[in-house]
Structure 1
Amino acid sequence: MKRTMFAAAAALLAVAALPGRAAADTTAPPSPAAPVVWQPQGTAISGTATSADAPALKPGTTYRDSIRPGQTRMYGVALDARSSAYASAFAVPPAGSRVAYNDGIEIELTSADGTQCDSGEEHFDDDGDARPIGTAVARTITDPDDICQDANAYTLQVHRTSAGTSDPAPWPLEVRLVLEPPLASGAVPGPVPTTPSASPTPLTAGTPRPASGGASFETAAAVRTGIWTDRVLPGETRFYKVPVDWGQQATVFADFSSAPDRKGFDLVGEGTRLTVFSPTRQYVDGVDAGYDGDPAALVEQLAPVAYANRTSDDDTVQRVRYAGWYYLAVTVHPDVARMVKGALPITLRVEVGGAAQAGPHYSGDPASSGIGLSRRAAEAADGTATGGSSASAAPSSSALRLLGFGAIGAGTVLLLSLAAWYVLARRQALRSGRTAS
């Protein structure tokens, strides 16, 4: 009985220790078996061909639709005369779709009298590089004498451009509207801060940590200042998000590894891509570089976050107008598969500089618009998604540690139970022996 009990206890402890060992192995992210895929989420909606019967978008709600080549989808947007509004649209062509250089979507926000309040367009800018594309258009409350400042019925238009040789299948579409409350009466936003002119330098100090980029904004991996590693398959786009508070400035270097299993010399013109979006999903800036199997590096440095940036003439400054999560989209062109077998290792060097400052005094809560930061959420950014789920997201190191500790605790409880059982059984045997004598 004694040997049986200790053998069982040893087995339990061995099993309990396994998750603990797994939790300690956080030196590299798992190699993805299949590309992560953005599946548009939210309430189903059907945009119309005219503004007369366009379905209304509710603030803070995400919608899913689809759009065919050459089609224009219209949605109704009711706005007051106080809130700034941001309407985003993202198209998600299926992986492997045939797309041409000028294929993409064009977005426009118009007033009831047809005045164009804002417009934006995103195209692939390369043949064959099917990936999620989109941006947001804005109605910003600035001056009562400017256009589109009144309370009225507005229309969001989304148009798909497509070459005759491209795949004619509908693209899934994700649409979202958010409202930014006005400043409180008497609040002064301050001047546009000066953007440092020195060239950014990459962060090199610190131990690299694994990240697991998500397939969309909802499943983006939360990362903060530090060095993060991941793997991106050819034809895949992975999303990450960085917490940037008022007064802070974010710098991101994306290093793409040399080909692990190089198959000979080749060159993909826009083989690597780094794109930055604002908390309201508005395109801020993007860079790309060719890939020939040698290492490649891309860098984006945002302007310091300030409410007054919205008055800047520079679009890349104007869109960094509020604190919140700024999104990074990292893309590897499908043709990189000619040089790389499997996923391409990447390193993100993220640095958020400057002390966080007090934000402007809003008349309402801007959190529903994705504006502002929870300090706890920012400090907890550990390379995994903070909302939604990702098809290939790995468990966070903290979750693994918790699982390991839980298993060890369960094993300890079972061992103590076995020990108590053994003591009781032993006492009962002794009493039986005394009674028999």
Structure 2
Amino acid sequence: MTHRIWRTALALPAVLVIAAGVPASAFAGTAPAGTASTVTASTDDAYTPTMIILDASGSMATQDAPGPRIDAAKNAVISLVDQLPKGANVGLEVYGTSTGSAASDKPAGCRDIKILAPVAAVDGSKIKSVVSGIKASGYTPIGAALEKAAAALPRTGPRSIVLVSDGIDTCAPPDPCKVAKDLKSQGLDLVVHTVGFRVDDAARSQLSCIASATGGSYSDVAGASGLAKALERRVQSAIKPYSAVGSPIKGTETPAGAPQLQPGQYVDTAATPIGNTPYPQASSKYYTIDVHKGETPYLAATIITPSIPPTGSLLSASLTLSSSDPGACHFQKMAQSLNLLKSIESTTVTLSPGEVGGPDWPQGCPTDGNLRVKVERGGDAFHGQPLAMELLYHAEPAADASGLPGPAAKQPAIAVGSAGAATPMQAGTSFNDAPLLKPGSYADSIVPGESVFVKVHLEWGQRLAYAFHTGVAPGSSGLGAILASSTASSPLRTDLALSETTGTNASTDLGRRPVTLSGSALVPVEYNNRQSPDAGIQAYAIDGDYYVRLKAGLSTTAGQSPAIPYTLQIDVVGSPTQGPSYAAAAGPTDAPSTTPSSKGQSPSSPAASGAPAGNASSATPWVWMGTGFAALLAGAAAWLVFRRRP
């Protein structure tokens, strides 16, 4: 009786990670029979109902934006409306428009809260019309405004509030931070993001507390252009924190009756783990796939969190592929994220058992038949709350690789030069909505606690290199440590090893002074890299869209989360070469969504799983001491979480 168990791979987004990954939908070219050409986008109900609260208190009439602050805020809302996706459900609430700010006005001013547009499918003309009539004059009842906004949102399911204010609550009680904590303690799936517009330390602290209490984020801006961008980014994060994409599917809690996957991308939910925290028993979802001799199956599962969980929370994901007799045929992989710096937003695990019937295929596994897929969710993050999950399945047909080069040897790092003139761009919020970038320079910004994604296409024979050149954040003199590092992922989200290109792949200086975060592929993308004895090289065995992901942890200084500008330099090195010739797909031809496909005639296949995460770094000693401690904790937690398996 022969079986194989893949090693566990630990992912630690608690340390600010820049990762690159690629969804199955990312690949160019024409797919052969057995695949479809597009991924089915998630439906409009995937957008989180969101209420925007706009401060129109007397201080918003101050003319230092430049011009009146309220005009900058109104223009930001008007600009935002034009950027909202179709199907987004967004409302608008305002306070301070109907009274003055004298002491005699306070009783009425603290009740002066109006919903100008209810939370519903966006009516751009209506919102622009009501915004144009807003005048700033009154008090700042933030706590009461939060209560009113929460009451106006749906009573169940995820929901969000985005608050823009230039000052502290002037009407407490109720204290706005306490209101946020109380709302969260009621079990509401509610996240509040806050934007401080030219605020002082007291207001910054209060707005940060509101966001932190609900797992949201805080942005600090000083000018009109910064406000427009911060509001747009915060609302985008609120309505769709991670844009889950795929065909709906419902896995079963037991192997009986499990649905069969065709090659493609799916959306399901990962049920809450069973039992009490901190180490509940993992929950399971079951599916099946059909395998055929010569094919190579690839699976990936991404479990998505709606907001930032409390520090110390653990989220684990496990993939198992087995026959009905797991003792005879059993492949397993696990990944986990331990939140030390409030930065978990998703956890991905990938698995490939190799070529069906090939030299490494266990004798106890069928070479033409059905295998069971089990996805497990463990850990205490969001315990009691189901989480969205993306499930990817790709079946790579047998390939003729004769005449192609053998596995590549590790190559020196590619040094990416200083960025030149940069093109403005907006990075995506997930693997699925990342913009496709050509070699060049691009400018954007990131808020601590946020992850942003871009993608870069690689042909056979090419290597990716990139460098993030970050700028200085507004008010950075009081900014605490923000950790940064650089990793990469394969087309089906497998973590990749990278070559260092500069000395700072990890930094605590993000936002306080210019920092370069960079990396390059170990080797060019070649089909036969999968034959290498080095797991790091094996992962570079697929052509297609590689994703670069910038992730920022929260500042160690409470209340400091300004938008940090960065320029991204992208290089693709090497001329395209010939790829393999694939046989016709053996499976059905009615797959519900995209699988990877390469340019020309053949479907791309994800690299062999098992590539190590991370790369060498010159991080400060305390950073990597913390990382090692996190790994120990995560490993111990994993043993407890997954110690019992049906």
Question: Does the alignment reach a TM-score above 0.5?
Answer: yes
SS of 2:578's partner is: coil
Partner of 1:301: 520
CA pair 130-205 structure 1, distance change in 2 beyond 3 A = closer
Tell me the residue number matched to 2:253.
49
The root-mean-square deviation of aligned C-alpha atoms, in Å, is: 3.0
Letter in 2 for 1:301: S
SS in 2 for 1:90: strand
Aligned to 2:396: 180
Going from structure 1 to structure 2, the CA distance change for 1:110 and 1:261 (only over 3 Å counts) comes to farther
Q: Following TM superposition, by how much is the alpha carbon of 1:263 offset from its aligned partner in structure 2, in angstroms? A: 5.3
Which residue matches 1:190?
405
1:248 maps to 462
**Structure 1 residues 365, 79: CA separation in 2 closer, same or farther (over 3 Å shift)?**
closer
Q: What is the CA deviation profile of residues 357-379 of structure 1, one whole-angstrom value per residue up to 9, with x for unaligned ones?
A: 111111248995323248xxxxx
Q: Secondary structure at the match of 2:508?
A: strand
Post-superposition Cα deviations, 1:229-274, rounded to whole Å, max 9, x if no partner, equal 1112222211111111101111122233332222515224xx3354
Any conservation in 2 of the 1:41–1:64 contact (CA below 8 Å)?
Answer: no
TM-score between both structures, scaled by the size of structure 1 = 0.70
Cα distance change of structure 1 residues 103 and 204 upon mapping to structure 2, 3 Å threshold: same
- Contact kept? 1:75, 1:156, Cα under 8 Å: yes
Alignment partners' CA distance in 2, 1:206 and 1:265: 27
Distance 1:57 1:100 in 2: 35
Match of 1:283 among 487, 491, 495: 495
Is 1:88 paired with 2:314?
no
User: Which deviates more from structure 2 when the two are superposed, residues 85-94 or residues 127-136?
Assistant: 127-136
Q: CA deviation at 1:149?
A: 6.6
Say which of 369, 378, 393 aligns to 1:152: 369
Partner of 1:31: 229
One-letter code aligned to 1:31:
K
8 Å CA contact retained: 2:242, 2:429: yes
Q: Count matched residues.
A: 342
2:480 to 244, 261, 266: 266
Question: Which residue matches 1:65?
Answer: 269
Match of 2:596 in 1: 370
SS at match of 2:324: coil
Give the Å deviation of 1:317: 1.6
Cα distance change on mapping 1:144 and 1:38 into 2, 3 Å? same
How far apart are 1:136 and its partner, in Å?
1.9
Matching residue's letter, 1:312: S
Structure with greater strand share of residues: 1
Deviations 1:49-97 (A, max 9, x none): 3223322212124233233133122221221122211111111111232
Residue type of the partner of 2:378? T
CA distance in 2, matches of 1:336, 1:231: 19
Pairwise CA distance, 1:127: 4.7
Q: 1:32 to 1:79 in 2, by over 3 A?
A: farther
Amino acid at match of 1:90: T
Distance change >3 Å, CA 31–CA 360, structure 1 → 2: same
Rounded Cα–Cα distance in structure 1 between residues aligned with 2:361 and 2:567 = 44
Identity %: 22
Question: CA–CA distance in 1 between the matches of 2:261 and 2:495?
Answer: 21
Q: 2:287 aligns with which of 68, 75, 79?
A: 75
Contact 2:316 2:334 in 1 (8 A): no
Report what 2:425 is aligned to.
211
Cα distance, 1:280 vs. partner? 2.4
Matched to 2:336, the amino acid is E
* Pair 1:324 & 2:544 matched: yes
The residue number in structure 2 matching 1:98 is: 310
Residue type of the partner of 1:47? Answer: G
Please give the per-residue CA displacement for 1:159-198, whole angstroms capped at 9, x wherever unaligned.
22213x86542221111211112114x735431122213x
User: CA deviation digits over 1:319-373, x for unaligned, max 9?
Assistant: 1111100112211113468475442212222111011111111124899532324
User: Residues of 1 paired with 2:366 and 2:541: CA distance?
Assistant: 19
Q: Which moved more, 1:104-113 or 1:84-93?
A: 104-113
Provide the C-alpha distance between the structure 2 equivalents of 1:56 and 1:87, rounded to a whole number of angstroms.
13
- Work out the CA distance in 1 between the residues paired with 2:468 and 2:529: 26
In the alignment, which residue of structure 2 is the partner of 1:432?
none
Q: CA deviation at 1:98?
A: 2.4
Distance in 1 (CA, whole Å) between partners of 2:283 and 2:264 is: 25
Matched ranges for 1:198-237 at <5 A: 199-204=413-418, 206-237=420-451
Distance 1:244 1:97, change over 3 A: same
- In the alignment, the residues of structure 1 paired with residue 366 and residue 426 of structure 2 have an alpha-carbon distance, to the nearest angstrom, of 42
Could you tell me whether the CA contact under 8 Å between 1:325 and 1:370 is conserved in 2?
Answer: no
CA shift in 2, pair 1:32/1:310, >3 Å: farther
CA distance in structure 2 between the partners assigned to 1:101 and 1:339 by the alignment: 21
How far residue 118 of structure 1 moved from its aligned partner, in angstroms, is 4.4
- 5 Å-filtered alignment, 1:407-426, equals none
- The 3 A distance-change label for structure 1 pair 236 and 341 is closer
Matched residue, 1:112: 324
Unaligned runs of 5+ in 1: 1-27, 375-437
Q: Which residue of 1 aligns with 2:572?
A: 352
Alpha-carbon contact 1:203-1:227 (below 8 Å) kept: no
Are the aligned partners of 2:419 and 2:469 in contact in 1 as well (CA < 8 Å)?
Answer: no
Change (3 A) 1:280 1:341: closer
CA distance in structure 2 between the partners assigned to 1:112 and 1:300 by the alignment: 42
For 1:332, give the aligned amino acid. A
Q: 1:188 to 1:146 in 2, by over 3 A?
A: farther
CA deviation profile, 1:304-325 (whole Å, cap 9, x unmatched): 1011111223333211111100
Moved more, 77-86 or 112-121: 112-121
Deviations 1:123-148 (A, max 9, x none): 24635222122032113217245225
Q: Distance in 2 between matches of 1:193 and 1:50?
A: 43
Correspondence 1:121-140 to 2 at 5 A: 121-124=335-338, 126-140=340-354
TM-score, normalization: structure 2? 0.49
Q: Structure 1 residues 273, 101: closer, same or farther in 2, change over 3 A?
A: farther
Q: Distance in 2 between matches of 1:337 and 1:209?
A: 32
Any unmatched runs of 5+ in structure 2? 1-225, 274-281, 499-504, 587-592, 601-646
SS at match of 2:430: coil
Cα distance in structure 2, aligned partners of 1:119 and 1:67: 19
CA distance in structure 2 between the aligned counterparts of 1:104 and 1:219, rounded to whole angstroms = 24
2:86 aligned residue = none
Paired residues of 1:99 and 1:162 also in contact (CA < 8 A)? no
Distance, in Å, in 1 between the alignment partners of 2:585 and 2:442 is 32
